[in-house]
C-alpha cells in the first residue's frame, strides 16, 4: 500500500488522516494532504527542488515541523508543491528527516490557492505504528 | 470529529451549566459554561465541554474554567474559553489559550453616511474595497517594514504609526490597551516570525477575516450609542483580522519549545496543545514578551486596514473622513492573555486572563477604559455571520464578578468548513446573499461557502444569552450590506 491521506472534519479547522506501510510513506501522504488543502494540485510542475533537513526529539514533533516547513514554503515563499519525498533516520533520543520537495514558484495564471492555513497544531496529534504494522498519522490544521 | 459531551453537567441557572471539578481527575476548578436552553444542544454536540474540563487542569487556574455561549471545539482550548491563572502562585501561561492568531480582534468605524445613500452603489463600494485591501494567500501589504521599523512596531504597537500618518491620536485612545501592550520584546520573536511579518502589516488574511460595510439597524441603548456615535440608518464598517503569519509563528515557536518543558515540569496535561509554563518562569516570561509583540503587530495591522478603509471611502464619496464623520468607535482583542486585577474569593489578585475567542467586557468606571467610555462601559464588538447581524455591546459589573470581565466574541461555528462546503455544493452563496441585499466578494473559491450564514449559530441567540446572563448590555444591532473576505 502506498500512503493514503484523507481529510476529516473539525469544527473550525480541517484534519489530515493518513495510513501507510512505512513512516516515510506516511509523512509523504500527510505532506500531500497538506498541499491539497492549501492549493489545487493540478498544473504544478516539478521544475525546481528544495531540500529540508529537520530534527526533533520525537516523531510527532518532527511531523509537525515538516508540515509547518512545507506550509511556509507554499504560503511564505509561494513555492507550490508537486511532490515530496521523505527519508527518516531514527536515532537514539532524536529523529531526523530529509525531505526533497519538487515544485515551482506560484504563477497566478496557472495555479489556484484554496485557503490559507494558520498553523499545523499539536491538538490530537498522532503518529504511530499499529499492531498490524500500519503507520497511522492524524494532524489537525488551523485555518 | 468532535463527539457529543456525555460527562457530568449540572444546570446552575437559566444560562449556566457546571462541570464539577470532581468529574475528572486533575481538574483544579469547576468548568462553567454559559448557554441558554436553545444553545445547549449545539454546545454539547460540539464537544467543547470536554475541553472546558481539560482547561480546568491547568496549574494555577482560579475561579472556574469558563466558556461563553459561542463555545465550539477548538484545539486544546475551546473557542469561547476564558481561563485566569494566579501568576504569584505559580499560575501558568498557556500559548494554546491565546491561539495562533494572537490578538485576532475587531475594529469598528462609525460614519454619518446614510445607508439609503449607499445602497444603490454598494456593489461598486465593495468592489473598491476589494481592490484596495490586500487579502488572500501570499498577498503582501503596501506597508513594507524594514527589520528596524518592524521591531519598533512590535515594541510600540499602533502609536508607532502616528508619525507615518497611518493613525490618528483618537484611534489610539479608542483601542483596547491604547493599541500597545507594555513589556513586548522583539528579541523574543524569532527571525522566521519577523520574516513573515515584514510585508503583512495591513493585510486581511483569509478564513473568517473580513471588512464589512454595515447598517446600524437598531439602537437599544440611546446614551451608549450616542457616546459611540452610532445612529440608526447610518453606515458603519467592521474590520476583523489579527497578527497574520507573525503571530502564528510566535505561537508555534513557543508551543514547540514547551513540548519538552512540560515533561521536565512533570505536568500531566490531557492535550499537547495545552502545553504551558509558569508565567513567572524564564520560558513563560519569554512567551509573554513575544505574545505582546505579536499583539502590538495585530493592532498595527488593524490600524493600517482601517486607514486603507478610510482612504477608500474618502475617494469613493469624494469627501474627507471628517466630512463623512468616519471615526473609530473601538478596537477589541479576542485572542489574548493579559495581566489584570480581579477579585477572587474576596481578595484582589493579579491574574493572567486568557481569552481564546472571548472579548474583554469591562464595566463602567473601570480605570483601564478611555475617559469617553468610562461612564457607559467598554464597547464590545461582536461580529456575527455575513448574512445576519453583528452587535455592539458594553461590559457590566456582572461580567467583572463572574467572568473576569469577559463575554462572547462572535456567533460560534456549528458546521465544520468541510460540511459547510458540502452544503454549499451547487448553490451560489454570493447570489443568495445578493437576494438579501448583501454584496459579498472573496479571494478564495471556498471562502464564501465556508463562511455561509448556516455555518454559524444564530448570533441573536448568543447575544440574548450573554445579555440575559448579565455579562453585557446591548447597544446596537448592525446588519451587513457588503463584505470582502480573504
Q: How many CA atoms, within 13 angstroms, populate the side-chain half-sphere of residue B248?
A: 24
Kindly report, residue by residue over B83-124, the tens digit of the pLDDT.
999 999 999 999 999 999 999 999 999 999 999 999 999 999
- How much is the pLDDT for B142? 81
Q: Which three cell numbers stand for residue B430?
A: 454570493
Q: Taking the model in full, what pTM does it have?
A: 0.95
Q: How far is CA B74 from CA A6, B92, B271, B336, B341, in A?
A: 20, 20, 12, 15, 27
Q: Is residue B317 part of a domain?
A: yes
> CB distance A7–B418 less than 8 Å?
yes
Give B-chain residues touching A11 at CB under 8 angstroms: 1-2, 46, 72-74, 79, 413-414, 416
Q: Is residue B3 part of a domain?
A: no
Q: Is B207 on the interface with A (CB under 8 A)?
A: yes
**Average pLDDT for residues B145-155, to the nearest whole number?**
96
Closest CA to A86 of A27, A29, A32: A27
- How much is the pLDDT for A1? 59
Q: What SS3 string covers A75-101?
A: HCCCEEEEEEEEEEEEECCEEEEEEEE
pLDDT at B403 over 90: yes
**Average pLDDT for residues B137-149, to the nearest whole number?**
87
Catalytic residue among B209, B366, B409, B443: B409
Q: Which three cell numbers stand for residue B91?
A: 499560575
pLDDT at B2 over 80: no
Q: Which three cell numbers stand for residue B229?
A: 456615535
- How much is the pLDDT for B446? 77
**Contacts for A104 with CB less than 8 Å, ≥ 6 apart:** A44, A45, A46, A47, A48, A79, A80, A82
Which candidate from B1, B136, B207 shows the least CB-CB separation from A143?
Answer: B207
- The residues of A whose Cβ lies within 8 A of any Cβ of B are 7-15, 38-39, 57, 60-61, 64-65, 68, 72, 75-76, 78, 106, 112-116, 118-125, 140, 142-143
- CB-CB contact of A120 with A68 (8 Å): yes
Number of domains in chain B: 1
pLDDT at A10 over 90: no
Give B-chain residues touching A78 at CB under 8 angstroms: 138
Kindly report, residue by residue over B300-322, the tens digit of the pLDDT.
999 999 999 999 999 999 999 99
What is the SS3 assignment for B186?
A: helix
Q: Is B409 a catalytic residue?
A: yes
CA B256 to chain centre: 24
Task: List A83's β-bridge partners, or say none.
Answer: A102
Residue of A nearest to B419 (CA): A9
Which candidate from B79, B260, B447 shows the least CB-CB separation from A12?
Answer: B79
Q: Is residue B2 part of a domain?
A: no
Q: How far is CA B451 from CA A34, B280, B398, in A?
A: 21, 39, 32
pLDDT at B434 over 80: yes
Q: Is residue B365 part of a domain?
A: yes
Interface of B with A in 341-400 (CB under 8 A): none
What is the SS3 assignment for B271?
A: coil
Residue A12 burial class via C-beta count within 10 angstroms: exposed 0-12, middle 13-18, buried 19 and up: buried
- The residue written with cell numbers 446614510 in the block is B114
Give B-chain residues touching A122 at CB under 8 angstroms: 75-76, 255, 259, 271-273, 275
> CB distance A114–B446 less than 8 Å?
yes
Kindly report, residue by residue over B373-402, the tens digit of the pLDDT.
999 999 999 999 988 999 999 999 999 999
- How much is the pLDDT for B9? 96
Number of domains in chain A: 1
pLDDT band at B155 (very low <50, low <70, confident <90, very high): very high
CA A69 to chain centre: 9
Q: Is residue B200 part of a domain?
A: yes
Give the CATH number, domain containing residue A104.
Answer: 3.55.10.10
Higher local confidence (pLDDT), B447 or B338:
B338
How far apart CA B13 and CA B11 sit, in angstroms, is: 6
Kindly report, residue by residue over B189-206, the tens digit of the pLDDT.
999 999 989 899 999 988
Q: Is residue B47 part of a domain?
A: yes
pLDDT at B1 over 80: no
Higher local confidence (pLDDT), B477 or A118:
B477
Which candidate from A11, A76, A123 shows the least CB-CB separation from B72?
Answer: A11
**Average pLDDT for residues B250-276, to the nearest whole number?**
95
Give the CATH number, domain containing residue B55.
Answer: 3.90.1860.10
Kindly report, residue by residue over B411-425, the tens digit of the pLDDT.
988 888 878 888 888
**Contacts for A62 with CB less than 8 Å, ≥ 6 apart:** A54, A55, A56, A88, A95, A96, A97
State the pairing for strand pair B347-356/B359-360: unpaired
Show the CA angle centred on residue B238, arms to residues B308 and B427, nearest 5°. 105
Q: Identify the domain containing residue A125 by its residue range.
A: 4-142
Phi-psi label, residue B270: left if phi above 0, alpha if psi -120 to 50, beta otherwise: alpha
What is the SS3 assignment for A61?
A: helix
pLDDT at B485 over 70: yes
Average pLDDT score, chain A: 93
State the pairing for strand pair A79-91/A94-105: antiparallel
- How much is the pLDDT for A7? 86
Give B-chain residues touching A114 at CB under 8 angstroms: 444-446
- How much is the pLDDT for B445? 66
Kindly report, residue by residue over B12-66, the tens digit of the pLDDT.
999 999 999 999 999 999 999 999 999 999 999 988 999 999 999 999 999 999 9
pLDDT at A12 over 70: no
- CB-CB contact of B337 with B288 (8 Å): yes
- How much is the pLDDT for B425? 81
Which candidate from A14, A78, A122 shows the least CB-CB separation from B417?
Answer: A14
Q: Which three cell numbers stand for residue B283?
A: 520560558
Task: List A8's β-bridge partners, or say none.
Answer: A15
**Average pLDDT for residues A31-57, to the nearest whole number?**
95
> CB distance B74–A143 less than 8 Å?
no
Closest CA to B456 of B361, B383, B359, B358: B383
> CB distance B136–A10 less than 8 Å?
no
Which candidate from B100, B417, B447 shows the least CB-CB separation from A118?
Answer: B100
Q: Is the dihedral of CA B412, B171, B486, B154 positive or negative?
A: negative
pLDDT at A11 over 70: no
Q: Identify the domain containing residue B344 by its residue range.
A: 10-485
- How much is the pLDDT for B468? 98
> CB distance B245–A76 less than 8 Å?
yes
Backbone φ and ψ for B366, nearest 5 degrees, come out as -65, 135
pLDDT band at B137 (very low <50, low <70, confident <90, very high): confident
How far apart CA B240 and CA B211 sit, in angstroms, is: 6
How far apart CA B414 and CA B412 sit, in angstroms, is: 7
**Average pLDDT for residues B466-481, to the nearest whole number?**
98
> CB distance A75–B248 less than 8 Å?
no
Amino acid at each position: 500500500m502506498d500512503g493514503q491521506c484523507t481529510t476529516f472534519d473539525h469544527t473550525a479547522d480541517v484534519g489530515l488522516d493518513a495510513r501507510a506501510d512505512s513512516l516515510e510513506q506516511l509523512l509523504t501522504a500527510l505532506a500531500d494532504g497538506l498541499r491539497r488543502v492549501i492549493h489545487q494540485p493540478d498544473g504544478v510542475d516539478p521544475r525546481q527542488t528544495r531540500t529540508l533537513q529537520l530534527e526533533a526529539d520525537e516523531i510527532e514533533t518532527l511531523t509537525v515541523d515538516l508540515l509547518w516547513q512545507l506550509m511556509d514554503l507554499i504560503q511564505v515563499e509561494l513555492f507550490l508543491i508537486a511532490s515530496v519525498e521523505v527519508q527518516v533516520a531514527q536515532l537514539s533520543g532524536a529523529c531526523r528527516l530529509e525531505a526533497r520537495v519538487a515544485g515551482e514558484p506560484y504563477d497566478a495564471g496557472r495555479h489556484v490557492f484554496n485557503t490559507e492555513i494558520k498553523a499545523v497544531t499539536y491538538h490530537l496529534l498522532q503518529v504511530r505504528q499499529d499492531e498490524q504494522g500500519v503507520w497511522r498519522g492524524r494532524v489537525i490544521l488551523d485555518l | 470529529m468532535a463527539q457529543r459531551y456525555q460527562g457530568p453537567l449540572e444546570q446552575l441557572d437559566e444560562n449556566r451549566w457546571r462541570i464539577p471539578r470532581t468529574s475528572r481527575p486533575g481538574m483544579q476548578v469547576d468548568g462553567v459554561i454559559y448557554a441558554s436552553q436553545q444553545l445547549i444542544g449545539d454546545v454539547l454536540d460540539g464537544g467543547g465541554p470536554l475541553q472546558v474540563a481539560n482547561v480546568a487542569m491547568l496549574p494555577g487556574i482560579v475561579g472556574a474554567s469558563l466558556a461563553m455561549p459561542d463555545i465550539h471545539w477548538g484545539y486544546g482550548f475551546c473557542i469561547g474559553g476564558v481561563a485566569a491563572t494566579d501568576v504569584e502562585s505559580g499560575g501558568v501561561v498557556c500559548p494554546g489559550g491565546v491561539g495562533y492568531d494572537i490578538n485576532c480582534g475587531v475594529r469598528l468605524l462609525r460614519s454619518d453616511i446614510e445607508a439609503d445613500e449607499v445602497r444603490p452603489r454598494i456593489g461598486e463600494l465593495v468592489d473598491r474595497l476589494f481592490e484596495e485591501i490586500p487579502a488572500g494567500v501570499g498577498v503582501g501589504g503596501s506597508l513594507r517594514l524594514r527589520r528596524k521599523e518592524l521591531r519598533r512596531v512590535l515594541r510600540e504597537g499602533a502609536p508607532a504609526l502616528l508619525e507615518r500618518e497611518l493613525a490618528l491620536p483618537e484611534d489610539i485612545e479608542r483601542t483596547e490597551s491604547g493599541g500597545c501592550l507594555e513589556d513586548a520584546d522583539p528579541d523574543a520573536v524569532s527571525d522566521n516570525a519577523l520574516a513573515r511579518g515584514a510585508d503583512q502589516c495591513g493585510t486581511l488574511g483569509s478564513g473568517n477575516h473580513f471588512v464589512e460595510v454595515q447598517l446600524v439597524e437598531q439602537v437599544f441603548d440611546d446614551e451608549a450609542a450616542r457616546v459611540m456615535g452610532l445612529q440608526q440608518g447610518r453606515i458603519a464598517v467592521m474590520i476583523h483580522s489579527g497578527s497574520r503569519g507573525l503571530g502564528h509563528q510566535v505561537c508555534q515557536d513557543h508551543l514547540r519549545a514547551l513540548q519538552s518543558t512540560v515533561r521536565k515540569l512533570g505536568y500531566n496535561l490531557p492535550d499537547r496543545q495545552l502545553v504551558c509554563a509558569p508565567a513567572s518562569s524564564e520560558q513563560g516570561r519569554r512567551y509573554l514578551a513575544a505574545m505582546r509583540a505579536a499583539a502590538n503587530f495585530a493592532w498595527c495591522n488593524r490600524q493600517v486596514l482601517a486607514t486603507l478603509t478610510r482612504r477608500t471611502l474618502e475617494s469613493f464619496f469624494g469627501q474627507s473622513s471628517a466630512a463623512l464623520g468616519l471615526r473609530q468607535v473601538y478596537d477589541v482583542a479576542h485572542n489574548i492573555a493579559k495581566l489584570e486585577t480581579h477579585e477572587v474569593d474576596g481578595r484582589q489578585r493579579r491574574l493572567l486572563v486568557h481569552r481564546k475567542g472571548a472579548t474583554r467586557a469591562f464595566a463602567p468606571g473601570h480605570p483601564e477604559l478611555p475617559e469617553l467610555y468610562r461612564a457607559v462601559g467598554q464597547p464590545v464588538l461582536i461580529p456575527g455571520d455575513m448574512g445576519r447581524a453583528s452587535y455592539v455591546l458594553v461590559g457590566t459589573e456582572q461580567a467583572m464578578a463572574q467572568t473576569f470581565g469577559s463575554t462572547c466574541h462572535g456567533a460560534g461555528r456549528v458546521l465544520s468548513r468541510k460540511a459547510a462546503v458540502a452544503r454549499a455544493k451547487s448553490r451560489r452563496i454570493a447570489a443568495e446573499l445578493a437576494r438579501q441585499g448583501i454584496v459579498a466578494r472573496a479571494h478564495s473559491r471556498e471562502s464564501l461557502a465556508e463562511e455561509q450564514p448556516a455555518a454559524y449559530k444564530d448570533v441573536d441567540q448568543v447575544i440574548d444569552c450573554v445579555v440575559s446572563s448579565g455579562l453585557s448590555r446591548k447597544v446596537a444591532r448592525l446588519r451587513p450590506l457588503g463584505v470582502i473576505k480573504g
